[in-house]
Amino acid sequence: MVKFEYLEPTSLKEACALLDQHPDDAKIIAGGTALIIWMRMRLLNPRLVISLEKIPDFNYIRYDDKDGLRIGAGARHREIELAPAVRSHYPLLHETFRKVAQPRIRNMGTVGGNLCQGDPLTDPGASLMALDAEVTLTHSKGKRTLALEKFFVDYYQTDLQPGEILTEIHLPPSIKPLGWSHIKFTPRSVEDFATVGVALTLRAQKDTCEDIRLALNSVAPTILRAKRAENVLRGKKISDGLLREMGETAATEVDPMDDNRGSAEYKRDMVKVLVRRAAQEALQRISLQL
Amino acid sequence: MAKTETFSVVGQRVNRVEGYDKVTGGAKYVADIVLPGMLVGRILRSPYPHAKIVKIDTRKAEKLRGVKAVVTAEDTIKQGWGAFFPDQYPLSVGKVRYVGEEVAAVAAIDQDIAEEALGMIDIEWEELPAVFDPEQAMKEGAPLIHEGKERNIAMTLDVERGNIERAFAESELIVEDTFESTPQWHCAIETIGSVAECSPSGKYTIYMNTQTLFMARYRIAAALGVRETDVRIIQSAVGGGFGGKSCDDNNAIVCALLARKSCKPVNIINTREEEFLAGSRPRVNMNIWAKMGFKKDGRIRAKQLRIIADNGAYSGKAPAIAGVAALRHDTCYKYSDVKTQAYLVYTNKIPTGAFRGFGNPSAEWAVEQIMDKAAHNLGIDPLDLARMNAADPGYVSPHGNRVTSCELRQCIDLVEKMMDWKGKRAQKKPNRGLGLACTVHVSGKRHFGDYDGGSATIKVNEDGKALILSGEGEVGQGAATAMCQIAAEELGLPLEDVEISRADTDMTTFCLGAFGSRVTYVGGNAVKDAASKVKQQLLDTAAEMLEARQEDLAAANGKIFVRGSETRSVTVAQLARARLFRRGGAPIVASGSFDADSVLQDATRYGNESGAYNFGCQAAEVEVDPETGQVKVLKYVAASDCGTVINPIGAEGQAEGSVAQGLGYALIEGLKMEDGRPVNPNFSDYRIPSMRDMPPLEHAFADSYEPTGPFGAKGLGELGMDPTAAVISNAIFDAAGIRIKTLPITPEKVLKALKAVSNQEPTRKVKLKADG
């Protein structure tokens, strides 16, 4: 690892100012579970590393029935996994964060760091998207909010602009009853990245799908919403055939790569199967058996 | 058959003797060893799979501030070295043969400077055509990797016993198929590393995490061109070996070269990427064509193998590994007529080497699937087929292996019971299936200058504690604890009164080291011999002190006492002091040795290779997801015959760890190469099973006693990983009617095979017939 300077600002303002002063050679570090690996591999060689560790109240997890859930970007995977509000109002998130890597990583890595890395293989983004998350991006002159699905731009690329820090993740209030499912398909090892990741939420009245969100990870340059697949089901009378069709449509929206977890073709096939299974599980959760 | 013998320390569930230091972080692994003034060494590795080195210019690197030494082949004697063939060099001479090969090295005051200096070494390369596939490499006109090795063949083996043609003619069922294994890495938690210093008079002291100290000394001295006594190897704590730390790599030699040139201590600790690239030598990958003939009742009549083994760029231990793959399994079942041919072929890839199982897992992956196919074709329960053919005590294999103790049938019985085999078979559920395989392994092997032995020294200190001086080494496998238990049992001491030294070539007598499942059996026998000699000295002195006849004396609980009147006793501490602190006094100390009753294989590879053979049987129940191809192991059972179990906690760990490594081999592992470059040399891309991936595992030890072993013990460490891949494949066949013939068995391969079956075969029955 190339030598670097390490700074620990004690306020967000100070952190933003530092980023402004060093537009080209500074990197933000939170848990470090991704950045350190890249630095060790010399893929990134920042001269300055700015830690967010000392910024007060940067890892809050607050729930309000009207406002929904607000998560400080510095919250660690493990903190989100175990937060009572998350468990009771967003079981999909609890389930997802429970599956991130293993406890050693979950105790270090932060949700903000995870999203900013823009790694399509990781789990949290898809579930957050399926829950309509938006992110707050703060810079020295103010802040903006953005739907999470617009935040991911390309392979390891996000919409984060120079000088910006991701500071908060917001989810609208939880809807009940909400059918949900999270499938992390890891045939090599439960500690592996997903070969295919599926996060799905849906609401149904009798046997008609009122609304649905389907997000996928590990199958395209970014974590993505499979909107055409959603539309197959949205507003329709749910049937086995329609679930299959949704899976097949989702498979046309992805753009997987050959890698150690499988060929692109195999991953596409698995999208078909797992999207259908995710929908079936979500329906079971709201007691809709087909 | 078990011998009724009661032990006081042997067979007890005891904690590791070195465990407290390890779990409290006190154990000194090689990266914890810091000597005053120590430099950091880094290695410049070949970026090409096959290339000539036209010119190396190190002048810029040498001038960098903080660099204390730069070495290339010019600093070596340019003599080849290697376990069997002297075909590799500490630093490339003239050309490189794989990506990762050591070309030059730097010692500097810190890692950053050392790495910066590596980038300043100018090398002019001339790329050569490379060959990566052994079958291609064997073709006329393929690029030649080593001068004089025509068609890149490093070694061939061709053995026939009996009359194979007649045996096949007399067979009533013939099954044949081709299987391909996978290049598997040891993935020990600690990478290979060394700390070396060189005294002004030219004596090297090397701290290293090797599992074979004296063999390391032999090879390092040869590579450096010095005498063995000029090299002292001290073993650090070792974070796992599995064969990968048996000194076939160049880490320690390069470290010693840098220490000599810089006149300072130097360390080189492999990064994980280096460990994959050129550290622990991975399992020899094999393509195996196997053909077996059976009588209608299931008896094996004939067996023929043709093995193409991928040696990689240099040979290391691969010649012996190919031999094991070719011959070893013929000790598991009763064979009469066998033929086996093996070709060990050079390719421009990382050299291969020793890995738990040593050729056996690749061979059993093939042969045990042929057995399973035969069972299905004959309509015999695979368990009954194994039982019918299982080796017995007294069996002599076609290659001369003489079986002493053997409880293979008992292992099969145990597996049947633990798995509820018959019950589950009677109530088969869709997509679920059962598979099993049997295995054999050695307890040491005679192939080092007609030697299959070990030695140890025990001294009794003035406080009555015994210290074992042994050069076998502890690599995390539990050898130190087993040896302390054996010595304590023989001496009548409580375990806490026995210690074992660290392995050090200057302080201990010659030992071959930790490989070939030999340490408990061979090393343990040497310790037992030393202990019995020490005990004689204790009895001599006790007889004088107690004024009793020696034959009336016994040892227990740290005392020697007169049988029948146990109050007439003297402690071992009193004896040690009494024998020493007197006119003409002497310490209590003795050396013991053992050489197994094995036979060096002759030119035709005939000869009883080991003093004792260990056996095992394993079975799995799996569920195949028909839509994803994912294989879930629902339950795994294993039974091992390792004779007397010295420390059940350690033995269970060995057995369970073996299965974990075997499941990795079966289902997920393998380094992928593109044009000779590894594409997944890290733990994110190369996965091994984690604790949470393990299925429910039940294990049992057969009731067994090896008459030539220390208190009846024989080897265990490798046995459990040998049959696992075949077990899984056989279970998948039972579950889904498909047979995967290349490792690892990925869900993608399974799904493809399932689709092929559903497109082709209307019913499973047809598939079975076509199989024959």
Q: Are residues B515 and B632 in the same domain?
A: no
Does the pLDDT value for residue B768 go beyond 60? no
Q: Are residues B629 and B763 in the same domain?
A: yes
- What would the pLDDT profile of A250-273 be if each residue is shown by its tens digit? 999 999 999 999 999 999 999 999
Looking at A149, A171, A193, which one is the last position of a domain? Answer: A171
Which residues of chain A neighbour B684 with C-beta distances below 8 Å? 193
- What is the nearest CA distance from B627 to chain A, expressed in angstroms? 7
Range of the domain at A25: 5-51
- In the sheet that A165-171 helps form, which strands lie side by side, from edge to edge? A61-64, A68-72, A165-171, A134-139, A142-147
Q: Are residues A162 and A67 in the same domain?
A: yes
**Cα–Cα distance between B486 and B477 in angstroms, integer?**
16
Looking at B573, B595, B617, which one is the last position of a domain? Answer: B595
Question: Phi and psi of A90, rounded to 5°?
Answer: -130, 65
Q: Are residues B557 and B648 in the same domain?
A: no
Query: Quick one: pLDDT at residue B761?
Result: 59
**Cα–Cα distance between B336 and B396 in angstroms, integer?**
10
- The contact set of B with A (CB < 8 A) is 112, 627-630, 667-668, 672, 679-680, 684-690, 692-693, 746-748, 751
Minimum-distance CB partner of B687 among A2, A189, A266 = A189
Which residues of chain B neighbour A34 with C-beta distances below 8 Å? none
Provide the token pair at B756.
Answer: 């092929």
Domain membership flag for residue A226: yes
Domain membership flag for residue A176: no
Contact call for residues B349 and B282 (beta carbons, < 8 A): no
Average of per-residue pLDDT values in chain A: 96
- What is the nearest CA distance from B24 to chain A, expressed in angstroms? 19
Q: Are residues A68 and A144 in the same domain?
A: yes
Domain membership flag for residue B753: yes
pLDDT-derived band at B765, boundaries 50, 70, 90: very low
Q: Are strands B51-57 and B453-460 parallel, antiparallel or unpaired?
A: unpaired
Residue A228: give its domain's CATH number.
Answer: 3.30.390.50
Domain membership flag for residue A101: yes
Q: Are residues B294 and B331 in the same domain?
A: yes
Residue A103: give its domain's CATH number.
Answer: 3.30.465.10
Residue B649 carries which DSSP code? H
Domain membership flag for residue B167: no
Q: Are residues A219 and A272 in the same domain?
A: yes
Q: Are residues A193 and A164 in the same domain?
A: no
Residue B384: give its domain's CATH number.
Answer: 3.30.365.10
- What would the pLDDT profile of B617-631 be if each residue is shown by its tens digit? 999 999 999 999 999
Q: Are residues B619 and B512 in the same domain?
A: no
Inspect the interface and report whether the beta carbons of A260 and B680 lie closer than 8 Å. yes
pLDDT-derived band at B409, boundaries 50, 70, 90: very high
Looking at B595, B627, B646, which one is the last position of a domain? Answer: B595
In chain B, the percentage of residues whose pLDDT exceeds 90 is 96
Domain membership flag for residue A56: no
- What would the pLDDT profile of B240-255 be if each residue is shown by its tens digit? 999 999 999 999 999 9
Question: Phi and psi of B716, rounded to 5°?
Answer: -150, -30
Q: Are residues B350 and B413 in the same domain?
A: yes
| A42 CB burial (10 A radius; 0-12, 13-18, 19+) | exposed
Residue in chain A closest to B665 (alpha carbons) equals: A188
Residue in chain B closest to A263 (alpha carbons) equals: B748
Does the pLDDT value for residue A284 go beyond 70? yes
Minimum-distance CB partner of A263 among B667, B689, B748 = B748
Q: Are residues B212 and B330 in the same domain?
A: no
Domain membership flag for residue B165: no
Q: Are residues A165 and A222 in the same domain?
A: no
Contact call for residues A114 and A108 (beta carbons, < 8 A): no
Q: Are residues B222 and B273 in the same domain?
A: yes
Residue in chain A closest to B750 (alpha carbons) equals: A266
Residue B204: give its domain's CATH number.
Answer: 3.90.1170.50
Inspect the interface and report whether the beta carbons of B687 and A269 lie closer than 8 Å. no
Inspect the interface and report whether the beta carbons of A191 and B687 lie closer than 8 Å. yes
Minimum-distance CB partner of B685 among A185, A191, A260 = A260
**Cα–Cα distance between B95 and B108 in angstroms, integer?**
26
Looking at B571, B595, B619, which one is the last position of a domain? Answer: B595
Closest C-alpha to B3, from B703, B497, B562, B636:
B703
Query: Quick one: pLDDT at residue B509?
Result: 95
Query: Looking at the 3D structure of chain B, how many domains does it have?
Result: 3
Does the pLDDT value for residue B3 go beyond 70? no
Q: Are residues B428 and B576 in the same domain?
A: no
Range of the domain at B473: 19-26+453-595
Q: Is B30 helix (H, G, I), strand (E, B) or coil?
A: helix
Q: Are residues A96 and A36 in the same domain?
A: no
Q: Are residues B545 and B490 in the same domain?
A: yes
Domain membership flag for residue A268: yes
Domain membership flag for residue B13: no
pLDDT (mean) for B260-273 = 97
pLDDT (mean) for B25-34 = 97
**Cα–Cα distance between B740 and B179 in angstroms, integer?**
9
Minimum-distance CB partner of A273 among B627, B687, B692 = B627
Provide the token pair at A115.
Answer: 């999203």
Contact call for residues B442 and B536 (beta carbons, < 8 A): no
Domain membership flag for residue A290: no
Domain membership flag for residue B68: yes
Q: Are residues A90 and A142 in the same domain?
A: yes
Domain membership flag for residue A9: yes
Domain membership flag for residue A151: yes
Domain membership flag for residue B96: yes
- Three-class DSSP labels, chain A: CCCCEEECCCCHHHHHHHHHHCCCCEEEECCCCCHHHHHHCCCCCCCEEEECCCCCCCCCEEEECCCEEEEECCCEHHHHHHCHHHHHHCHHHHHHHHCCCCHHHHCCCEHHHHHHHCCCCCCHHHHHHHCCCEEEEEECCEEEEEEHHHHEEECCEECCCCCCEEEEEEECCCCCCCEEEEEEECCCCCCCCCCEEEEEEEEEECCEEEEEEEEEECCCCCCEECHHHHHHHCCCECCHHHHHHHHHHHHHHCCCCCECCECHHHHHHHHHHHHHHHHHHHHHHCCCCC
Residue A29: give its domain's CATH number.
Answer: 3.30.43
Residue in chain A closest to B624 (alpha carbons) equals: A187
Domain membership flag for residue B339: yes
Helix axes B724-736, B648-667, angle to 10 degrees: 50
Query: Looking at the 3D structure of chain A, how many domains does it have?
Result: 3
Domain membership flag for residue B95: yes
Find the DSSP H helices in B104-248. 111-118, 134-137, 164-169, 213-224
Q: Are residues B340 and B414 in the same domain?
A: yes
pLDDT-derived band at A42, boundaries 50, 70, 90: confident
Q: Are residues B342 and B464 in the same domain?
A: no
Q: Are residues A30 and A93 in the same domain?
A: no
Question: Phi and psi of B293, rounded to 5°?
Answer: -110, 140
Q: Are residues A69 and A133 in the same domain?
A: yes
Task: Report the run of H or E that residue B157 belongs to, with start and end.
Answer: strand B153-161
Looking at A124, A146, A171, which one is the last position of a domain? Answer: A171
